[in-house]
Amino acid sequence: MIGPGMIGQGMTLAGKRVLITGGGSGAGENLALGFAAAGAEVVIAGRRIDALEAVAAKASGIRVVQADVTDEASVQAMFAAAGPCDVVIANAGAADSAVMAKTSLAQWNAMIAVNLTGVFLTLREGLLQMPGWGRLISVASTAGLKGYAKVAPYAAAKHGVIGLTRSLALEIAKKPITVNAICPGFLDTPMTDHSVQVIAEKTGKSLTEARGVLEAMNPQNRLIAPAEVTATALFLCGPGSEGINGQAIAIAGGEL
């Protein structure tokens, strides 16, 4: 987990309100704790209220809102409950795996709904309520910058997030607002643990061997720590980041 000692010297987000979707686990949890440590008021949103409350209990200044990012009315209600937000981080996402020939339309629609439509709704509503200075950030993936076998719908959705980011950046360029996508490789999170389990079940590899398959995709031979995503998001909200707009920032150890 990222702590106060890892935040840029003198950096504070006191007086800023930050909304983070998918805030109940993994990168979302780390983002919530990192921004709270930087002095921000943090609102975390997601479908699992128990998970959200467990994160909120770990630090002061964090409150929870139950929401489904794939539902337009739910996203609008989320922002109404949160209040005006200076920083909006579209982190909610999900992964699935199948070869194209065995991918159902339902699987395709599910991946697009949470990983692309959810980001669209979150960033659109976030922008509409942004009071002035603002930062729009999505947690995308290296799958938005390259292809991976057996995850075509997921990769297509993440590529869509990059296109959305680049287009929106041009629309808001004359405002004191930026929009960027953070693109980590495989993260050391429960979502990746699930992927490891699937690889082990389908290949007969041990869990350690299956994890090694994902680690080997990073030239540094490791999974990316959620704290690295948080540090990047904090940088994008700090002084000196004003000209970084419309970017897809890879955190992948040289994979890209």
CATH number (domain holding residue 115):
3.40.50.720
Rounded CA-CA distance 160/113 in Å is 12
Q: Active site includes 148?
A: no
**Measuring CA to CA, how many Å separate 134 from each of 129, 137, 153, 173, 236?**
10, 10, 31, 12, 10
pTM: 0.93
Q: What pLDDT, in 10s, does the model give residues 4-21?
A: 334 444 578 999 999 999
Range of the domain at 218: 188-223
> What's the confidence (pLDDT) of residue 17?
98
Through-space distance between the first and last CA atoms of the chain, rounded to whole angstroms: 25
Q: Would residue 21 count as lying in a domain?
A: yes
Q: What pLDDT, in 10s, does the model give residues 167-191?
A: 999 999 999 999 999 999 999 998 8
Q: Would residue 2 count as lying in a domain?
A: no
> What's the confidence (pLDDT) of residue 125?
98
In terms of domains, do 82 and 145 share one?
A: yes
Q: Would residue 209 count as lying in a domain?
A: yes
Q: Greater confidence, 42 or 191?
A: 42
Q: Would residue 153 count as lying in a domain?
A: yes
Q: Which of 154, 225, 229, 248 is catalytic?
A: 154
In terms of domains, do 193 and 71 share one?
A: no
Q: What pLDDT, in 10s, does the model give residues 180-235?
A: 999 999 999 988 898 889 889 989 999 999 999 999 999 999 999 999 999 999 99
What 3-state class would DSSP assign to 186? coil
Rounded CA-CA distance 132/69 in Å is 24
* Position 67 pLDDT exceeds 70: yes
Number of domains into which the chain is organized: 2
Mean model confidence pLDDT for the chain: 94
> What's the confidence (pLDDT) of residue 138?
98
